[in-house]
A and B are shown apart, each in its own frame.
Chain A
Amino acid sequence: MAEPLVVLDGLTKSFGTEIVTEVLHGIDLEVLPAEFTALVGPSGSGKSTLLNLLGLLDRPTSGRIVLAGRDTTPLTDDERSAVRGRTLGFVFQFHHLLPEFTALENVMMPMLAARGREEKGMRERALSLLEEIGLADRASYRATKLSGGQQQRVAVARALVLEPPLVLADEPTGNLDTESGAQVFELLRRVSALHRTAFLVVTHDERIAARCDRVLTMVDGRIRSDVRNGRP
């Protein structure tokens, strides 16, 4: 079995200072490279909280997060930003594109932030990703001039641009009509296979979950079940 991409070890998270509520109660989890995993569970079960911890956007109350063999617990904020830029891509429910920039620029943005300025080949790379998601003809459109589904597809391209081994997606289709939702999901599966990228997708859609390699079910801050479909 391949070296796990993510190892979560006794992860807990509490919120609040006066009234402390523990939201996650000791999560243990391993995610393998190129694995396409759905994270399902009732509202308030802690799915987004887990994703934010995994995405190094928030710090756990206790426990360890090992990303690509590296323990992220002792890292400073800037080191976490750097790890985030290298290892992780994000797709959020609200298609978080930068409205000031074009589709192409949005896709380029992680490369610009990482390298500090535009370098040769960046534009071409972003364009080829836009082609892959079928939006090459919208490259120079402002983000706000795109439909919800189109914006979400651009966000997928942006998440992939630095070739991260893992993409975290929190209800990527939650805000889209059924057809665009299915379209975006197909895209995720396709790019995952093409780039050998692991995906962890939070979803409420049973049909989507059914088509994933693996389904994690969360209830009340614990992983209740972990089922692998088809593949071992």
Chain B
Amino acid sequence: MPFEVLVALRFLREGRIQTLLILSGIGVGVGVIVFLSALIGGLQDSLIERTLGTQAHVVVRAPEDVVRPVSESSPGLAVAPRLERPAQRLRSIVGWAQTLDLVRSLPGVRAAAPTVAGAAFALRGLANRSVALRGVEPASFRNIIDMAPRLTAGEFRVDATNAVLGVELASDLGVSVGDKFRLETPAGRSDVFLVAGIFDVGNKDLNERWVFVSLRSAQTLLDLSGGISTIELKVEKIFDAERAAGEIAARTGLQADSWMKLNRQLLVGLRSQSASSWMIQFFVVVAVALGIASVLVVSVVQKSREIGILKAMGTRTIQVVRIFLVQGAVLGLAGSILGSGIGAALSYFFASLATNPDGSPTFPVNLSPVLFLGAAAVATLTGLLAAVAPAERAASLDPADVIRYG
């Protein structure tokens, strides 16, 4: 064992109470960091996952109709140009089959599905509900949003006669699996479907509004024969969605919106949550550093006799510096191991406080090895840096003073 490490460890060991106190301090600090990171990380992961569970990563649709001045401007006559947005009607993506192939071939795109989306009414007896019609191919749509595990009754079967709707809508209409209901579009087309399945996506609004039918039925109802209104896709890495959307828009001239754009509020929220958690962690690190530094400063004073003896024996200045740097680093490292334990325990305790009916935690915590290694690295480095000033103080001690005054 190097001389400096030997002396450093012995100094720490002899410091007993002092060493134990500062170790607990570092441990609590690192524990807070680990716990906060795990909690915020887990919370954010689960929020994003929940959001993306019912959304495509990127939605591609035909561009909106362009806005043009209504009145023609004639020379000599100054007329304030009046801009009037034309009513947006459902537009089909031109050459969608090729577009779909192109999108699927892009790197980073995991799956793509053609869909038709439009407004309609669901009717049964006296009940009349405004719904969002979603025409899908079950095979391709399963890779965008997997509805099968979210069904509370029946199966996800959509074809010429079968449709799938949400629990809230089903109760509004008073239907259950096997019952008939009618879908009617504002343009006046209508058809009768059998309820093949009922889903619950954990969102009342979507449970009230979504009605899944086959791509062909939707095309017929919405007057888009052979066309589709949207291509929905999933990407490999969710935070690549914005980039993928940009690339698709550039290559196809279509409008492509990522989940990040459609959920800007959520992302801003998550980001400021991250920022405040970083801020807390930063101040915890500062407090830990100050704690280590002050303990070592006191220890330099306490050990000034020993330092003088070491110097009189031929110990070089740099060796004295190292003795104290090693103490700082060892405190940081040992404290972070303790803190990882505390943080993990806190996290599991917190996760066990709030559980879903199925026993899974409401607030999942994300405890990864990277988190522990990161905490250890930060704490060790903090200890090392905090030890610099005390170490220099120790190095500048004059052995003659110490020996003179005992």
Contact = CB atoms under 8 A, between A and B. Distances in A.
A113 B310 contact: yes
A13 to B, nearest CB: 11
Nearest to B13: A100
B44 to A, nearest CB: 48
B11 interface: yes
Interface string A89-110: 0101110111111000000011
Contact of A117 (B1, B14, B311): B1
A210 interface: no
Contact of B305 (A96, A109, A112, A170): A96
A137 interface: no
A170 B14 CA distance: 28
B125 interface: no
B316 interface: yes
Given A81-B311, A96-B309, A109-B310, A57 B400 contact: yes
A52 interface: yes
A84 B314 contact: yes
B403 A57 contact: yes
A116 interface: yes
A58 interface: yes
A88 to B, nearest CB: 8
Contacts, number: 79
Interface residues of A, number: 34
Contact of A116 (B3, B306, B313): B3
A77 B309 CA distance: 16
B322 to A, nearest CB: 10
Contacts of B319: 113
Interface in B1-44: 1-3, 6-7, 10-11, 13-14
A57 B13 contact: no
A118 interface: yes
Nearest to A175: B406
A118 B310 CA distance: 16
Contacts of A193: none
A48 B402 CA distance: 13
A192 B238 CA distance: 80
A113 B314 contact: yes
Nearest to A96: B309
A52 B319 CA distance: 22
A177 B7 CA distance: 32
A85 B14 contact: no
A165 interface: no
Contact of B406 (A90, A94, A158, A162): A94
A100 B306 contact: yes
Q: Which of B311, B317, B400 has its CB near the most chain A CB atoms (within 10 A)?
A: B400
Nearest to A93: B406
Given A100-B11, A101-B10, A117-B2, A158 B313 contact: yes
Interface in B218-242: none
B399 interface: yes
A117 B322 CA distance: 14
A55 interface: yes
A231 B14 CA distance: 49
B314 A86 contact: yes
A114 interface: yes
Nearest to A97: B309
A168 to B, nearest CB: 10
Contact of A118 (B1, B11, B13): B1
Given A81-B314, A81-B316, A57 B399 contact: yes
Given A57-B399, A92-B403, A94-B406, A117 B3 contact: yes
B209 to A, nearest CB: 74
Closest 7 CB pairs of A and B: A85-B314, A57-B400, A100-B10, A94-B406, A58-B400, A112-B3, A113-B315
15 contacts: A57-B398, A78-B318, A84-B312, A84-B314, A85-B315, A92-B403, A96-B308, A96-B312, A97-B309, A98-B310, A99-B14, A100-B7, A109-B313, A110-B314, A113-B315
Given A81-B314, A81-B316, A113-B319, 14 more contacts: A52-B404, A78-B318, A81-B315, A84-B314, A86-B314, A92-B403, A96-B308, A96-B312, A100-B13, A109-B313, A113-B315, A113-B316, A116-B3, A117-B3
Interface of B: 1-3, 6-7, 10-11, 13-14, 305-306, 308-319, 398-400, 403-404, 406
